[in-house]
């Protein structure tokens, strides 16, 4: 493998034979491999105590690819000073459904100290009000079949229950998805679930489970054949688990009891008592702008974020959305310089080497807008501040659903069925949005009845229809 000694590819800085598994990760998707695996590999270069066991709940593909290549894979950075990295921190990779007892053994093993997860917003089965969703089919199933779980919550409860019975301290839970207060919410959801099993067990979780909240960031387009061919052309090997991402990465973890057991700060992870500030700026500025651009850009016929940003009108619109609507909504941002932060994000969106598909960001809108756009809208309504650009994001989401439905395309969203029912009634009139805004699971009673908000979304919706019909796209 002389090829791997080339200077622009970083090979593992530790002996894999010494790697000890201490982290279990749920959801070995591209973002996890591009982000957490990168930091954890740096931890292992300090001391190889942080081997990861990957658990896939829904699809075997990544597990198989990893297995076929001894759990090694490449991260390709997309930027001017890009390096590529061979990541060697995965110790094992398990597809959950046929291997449940193996996973239970693992979760009760005291050597496992940390459970991380990237299972997307919907994977936690938590409603918009932060409570566990008892109507979720997976949760209903897991409550009836404790030893045969399907969901992340069901597996983690299983591990905790075994530890509780064995008097083993719990692992630390570190969720890494784009939910505000993710650690707190997941802990509460686990306590809610445990209450239905045994109140003493619920108390054990409440008193002992450490679950810091986190902010994670690195733009990671979906891996595809173009990536696999590039790796093969550049290095001469085939890597079906390769990922690519922008150079920028950030991982912020709330300071937690026991954080000193991991040299987080030595590898660039930020530990803070004010994780809420980082979450707020990232979810509202980056993800809020991302979702708005995804829906509007798609409606106007663009394919990737960078292509949409290359259009001066859309670039200005993203700028105005951030500076005129989102930044005024931010409170208690600590030491974060939001202007620099926002300008950096705009530059990241414009990076033409990152082929980030708008359709990828558009997935699961019903699960995302509640964290990305609605908190800024609520705040601005309270402050009597402008919400026009934020409302444009909501209007574009409605329009995206309507047009996808008309085209007979599949909508990736746990609420797809109900969204499509609403979309089918659309008549290209402002009222099309009424059905969407009355979805209490997303908008809550406060927004659903707020006339200023409704009128603003309607106005923006009309502008989108005009722009689609060849009207003046400057109109935004
Ligand atoms: C994106 C995020 O797909 C999406 O919804 O907005 O995945 C985004 O790229 C990351 O949060 C960036 O850190």
Within its chain, how far is the Cα of 277 from the centroid? 17
CATH number of 2-272: 3.40.50.720
Q: What is the mean pLDDT of residues 38-53?
A: 98
Q: Which atom belonging to ligand 1 lies closest to the Cα atom of 217? A: 13
- Mean pLDDT across 31-57: 98
218 close to ligand 1 (CB < 6 Angstrom): yes
pLDDT score at 440: 93
Q: pLDDT tens digits, residue range 394-434?
A: 999 999 999 999 999 999 999 999 999 999 999 999 999 99
CA distance 89 to 72: 8
For the chain, give me the number of helices (H) and strands (E)? 22, 12
Q: Is the CB of 282 under 6 A from ligand 1?
A: no
State whether the beta carbon of 378 lies less than 6 angstroms from ligand 1.
no
Residue 453 has pLDDT above 80, yes or no: yes
CA of 311 to the centre of ligand 1 (A): 21
Considering the chain, what percentage of its residues have pLDDT values greater than 70?
97
Separation CA 382–CA 221 (nearest Å): 36
Among residues 17, 100, 121, 112, the alpha carbon closest in space to that of 55 is found at 100
Q: pLDDT by residue (tens digit) across 80-110?
A: 878 899 999 999 999 999 999 999 999 999 9
Please, where in the chain does CATH 1.10.1040.10 lie? 275-475
pLDDT digits (tens, 9 = 90+) for 169-223: 999 999 999 999 999 999 999 999 999 999 999 999 999 999 999 999 999 999 9
C-alpha distance across the termini of the chain, in Å: 54
Q: What are the tokens at 339?
A: 């202007």
Return d(Cα 321, Cα 63) in angstroms, integer.
Answer: 40
pTM for the whole structure: 0.96
Residue 215 contacts residue 35 (beta carbons within 8 Å): no
For residue 431, give both structure tokens: 């009222």
pLDDT digits (tens, 9 = 90+) for 250-296: 999 999 999 999 999 999 999 999 999 999 999 999 999 999 999 99
Residue 444 three-state SS = helix
Closest to 33 measured CA to CA, from 14, 17, 52: 52
275-475 folds as 1.10.1040
Question: Confidence class of residue 471 from pLDDT cuts 50, 70 and 90?
Answer: low
Give the largest Cα separation in the chain, rounded.
Answer: 67
The pLDDT value given to residue 472 = 64
Q: Is 290 near ligand 1, meaning CB less than 6 Å away?
A: yes
For the Cβ of 217 lying below 6 angstroms from any atom of ligand 1, the answer is: yes
Q: Mean of the pLDDT values across residues 40-53?
A: 98
- For ligand 1, say whether the CB of 287 is within 6 Å of any of its atoms: yes
Mean pLDDT over all residues of the chain? 96
* Binding site membership of 178 for ligand 1 (Cβ less than 6 Å): yes
CATH 3.40.50.720 positions along the chain are 2-272
Atom of ligand 1 nearest to the CA of 362: 5
Q: Is the pLDDT of residue 475 over 80?
A: no
Reported as a single tens digit per residue, the pLDDT across 343-387 is 999 999 999 999 999 999 999 999 999 999 999 999 999 999 999
Is residue 361 within 6 Å of ligand 1 at its C-beta?
yes
Residue nearest to atom 4 of ligand 1 (CA): 361
**pLDDT top residue among 343 and 9:** 343
Question: Given this model, what pLDDT does residue 256 score?
Answer: 98
User: Which residue's CA lies nearest to atom 9 of ligand 1?
Assistant: 219
Listed in sequence order, the residues at least 6 apart from 294 whose beta carbon sits closer than 8 Å to its beta carbon are 305, 358, 359, 361, 362, 400
The DSSP code for 223 is P
Taking the CA atoms of 350, 352, 356 and 362 in sequence, report the sign of the dihedral they define. positive
Q: Whose CA is nearest to atom 1 of ligand 1?
A: 361
CA of 267 to the centre of ligand 1 (A): 22
What is the position in ligand 1's atom list of the atom closest to the CA of 31? 7
In short, whether 396's Cβ falls inside 6 Å of ligand 1 is no
Residue from 278, 286, 305 to probe ligand 1 pocket by mutation (most atoms less than 8 Å from CB): 286
């Amino acid at each position: 493998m002389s090829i791997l000694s080339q200077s622009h590819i970083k090979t593992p800085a530790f002996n894999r034979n010494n790697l000890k598994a201490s982290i279990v990760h749920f959801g070995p998707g591209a973002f996890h491999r591009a982000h957490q695996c990168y930091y954890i590999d740096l931890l292992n270069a300090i001391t190889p105590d942080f081997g990861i066991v990957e658990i896939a709940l829904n699809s075997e593909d990544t597990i198989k690819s990893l297995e076929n290549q001894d759990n090694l894979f490449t991260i390709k950075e997309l930027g001017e000073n890009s390096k590529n990295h061979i990541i060697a921190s995965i110790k094992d990779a398990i597809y959950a459904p046929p291997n449940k007892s193996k996973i239970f053994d693992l979760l009760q093993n005291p050597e496992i100290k940390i459970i991380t997860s990237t299972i997307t917003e919907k994977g936690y089965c938590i409603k918009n009000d932060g409570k566990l969703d008892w109507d979720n089919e997976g949760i209903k199933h897991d409550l009836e079949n404790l030893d045969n779980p399907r969901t992340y919550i069901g597996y983690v409860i299983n591990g905790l229950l075994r530890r509780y019975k064995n008097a083993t301290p719990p692992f630390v839970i570190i969720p890494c998805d784009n939910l505000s207060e993710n650690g707190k919410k997941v802990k509460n959801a686990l306590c809610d679930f445990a209450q239905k099993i045994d109140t003493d067990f619920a108390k054990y979780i409440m008193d002992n489970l450490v679950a810091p909240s986190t902010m994670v960031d690195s733009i990671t387009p979906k891996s595809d054949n173009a990536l696999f061919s590039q790796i093969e052309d550049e290095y001469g090997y085939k890597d079906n688990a390769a990922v690519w991402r922008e150079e920028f990465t950030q991982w912020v973890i709330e300071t937690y009891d026991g954080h000193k057991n991991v040299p987080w700060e030595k590898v660039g992870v930020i530990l803070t008592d004010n994780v809420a500030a980082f979450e707020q700026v990232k979810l509202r500025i980056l993800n809020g702008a991302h979702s708005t651009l995804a829906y509007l850009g798609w409606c106007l016929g663009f394919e990737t974020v960078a292509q949409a940003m290359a259009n001066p009108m859309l670039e200005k619109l993203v700028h105005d959305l951030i500076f005129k609507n989102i930044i005024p909504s931010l409170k208690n941002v600590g030491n974060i310089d939001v202007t620099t932060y926002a300008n950096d994000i705009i530059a990241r969106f414009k990076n033409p080497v990152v082929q980030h598909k708008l359709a990828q960001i558009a997935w699961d809108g019903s699960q995302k807008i509640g964290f990305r756009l609605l908190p800024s809208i609520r705040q601005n309504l309270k402050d009597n501040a402008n919400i026009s650009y934020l409302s444009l994001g909501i209007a574009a989401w409605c329009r995206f659903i309507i047009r996808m439905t008309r085209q007979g395309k599949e909508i990736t969203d746990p609420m797809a069925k109900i969204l499509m029912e609403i979309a089918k009634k659309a008549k290209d009139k402002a009222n099309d949005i009424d059905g969407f805004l009355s979805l209490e699971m997303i908008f809550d009673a406060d927004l659903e009845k707020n006339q200023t908000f409704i009128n603003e979304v309607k106005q923006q919706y009309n502008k989108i229809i005009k722009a689609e019909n060849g009207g003046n796209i400057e109109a935004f």
